[in-house]
Amino acid sequence: MLKKSIWHTISSKHMQNRKKAFISIIIDSVRYAIVILIFICLSQFIVTHVIMNAYIPSASMEPGLEEGDYIIGNRMVKRYHRGDIAIFWSEDNTYYIKRVIGIGGDHIVIKNHAVYRNGKKLKEPYIKEKMLTETELEYTVPKNCYFFLGDNRNCSKDSRYWKYSFIAQKDMVAKAVFRYWPSIKKI
């Protein structure tokens, strides 16, 4: 009888320890699941509202950004400045990455292989070759809109060729901040 009682006590303690271990595993699993869920939600929030990952699909921004590069954009920017490289939603429902040449109120003239903004020829050290121009083009940028050109002017679908030459503030997505692939480089 004593043997049975000791065995029963040992068996009972063993079962209690197993239950505690099982409950501990469940609690730890729930904690890990909560941490993972918080991480996923936070990541989604950051990607939706803070940063944007973008791929350069063409040579239109060479030499600074080359076809195949990956960049990070800052979605929290609300106003863009002349010279910024921006990511925006275009009229053909595609994201584009181009350089801001004009902002609301600017008068842009393209002639003699050069760009003039408000009567002054732009200094553009980021361009690799002269722009081929056959005719003079003139644009006045409406309020809350932007005028864009690719840095590789002879290989860029930009404001010169779109049905509506300007991108509205509401269609702006992010300011390009840095390239992270194939190498890290501040933009």
Query: Could you tell me which residues are beta bridge partners of residue 148?
Result: 100
| Residue 106, domain CATH | 2.10.109.10
Domain membership of residue 168 as a residue range = 51-186
Q: Which residues contact 21 (CB under 8 A, 6 or more apart)?
A: none
- pLDDT tens across the length of the chain (187 residues): 445 555 555 566 767 778 888 888 999 999 999 999 999 999 999 989 999 999 999 999 999 999 999 999 999 999 999 999 999 998 888 899 999 999 999 999 999 999 999 999 999 999 988 898 888 999 999 999 999 999 999 999 999 999 999 999 999 999 999 999 999 899 8
User: Could you tell me the pTM of the whole model?
Assistant: 0.81
Look at the chain and report how many structural domains it folds into.
1
| Secondary structure of 80-120 in HEC code, one letter for each residue | CCCCCEEEEECCCCCEEEEEEEEECCCEEEEECCEEEECCE
Q: How many CB atoms lie within 10 A of CB 180?
A: 13
Q: Which residues are catalytic?
A: 60, 98
For residue 49, count CB atoms less than 10 angstroms from its CB and return exposed for 0-12, middle for 13-18, buried for 19 or more: exposed
Let me know if residue 179 belongs to a domain: yes
